[in-house]
Structure 1
Amino acid sequence: MFLCAFSEPESIEQYVSYLHKTFSDHYDTSQENGQIKRYELNVTNNGFCRYKRYFNNGKTEYFAFKLAKFKDMDYYGTTLSGKLYIHTKGDDVIVQTYKDRGGDVDSMATQVIIPVKNMEAEDLNQIRDNLEKICVQQQSVKIQ
């Protein structure tokens, strides 16, 4: 316990790296029903989560939000397959749709939904913990 008091706290880069690796390792392409040609899911060192889906019909969906806006998360599914809902504090998720039947659309949302697989309770707890730590660190930097 005494030694832990003098250890360096983890950096935002470590939290971001963990989230990026976890989202990449657990992303479930099988839930996309063959409609998605490819996807990009990145968590950046400057505190953003960016998720882009390229559909077979040419449509593209892009979601982005600042990790400091994280509010809560839910998971619906089993340990084999499910959807991770990441909620923000308000309309903080940028949503852009390109080459859709209705044209290009820019809007805002309160959540991002990521299809995942092989998620244990511990994985979900670690994701939440890392998101919360990023929020705290980014808010404390903002205050200073």
Structure 2
Amino acid sequence: MNTLLSIYALCVVVLFVKMLAISCYQGFYRISRLTFKNPEDAGLVGRPPSAEELPQVARAAQAWANDLENIPLFCVLGALCLVFNPPLMLTAGLMLLFTVARLLHTLCFLARWQPWRTIAYAVAIVCLLAMAALVSMGALRHV
């Protein structure tokens, strides 16, 4: 079994679970407060719809949106890295560091910890740029 493929797969699963956890976090706050913005959801628990989302739910939605700007790029670049067989330790390190940085970014986002949120974001972006460079070098070797 390819070691890099295993690391990539585990990172993708961890990122999936992290995003699922954000959804559960939102659901926890909505259900525990019986506060829903959508009329059909509020009606299910016999409540009027809320004019606004709970602050925790809105914050988690922002974290989720930020994930959607970064994690799909990781998935594509990671898959392309597998195609071009880059240096194992470097690529594995970038994949693992990206995953840890995204976990920390979400934690810092929900806890409102600055400058740590920005640092975690920047680390993840640097990992993506480095992975893009590895893919580019691999592609150029095969031109």
Structure with the higher fraction of residues in strand conformation: 1
With normalisation by structure 1, the TM-score equals 0.31
Q: Which has the higher contact order (CA 8 A, sep 6+)?
A: 2
Structure with the higher fraction of residues in helix conformation: 2
With normalisation by structure 2, the TM-score equals 0.31
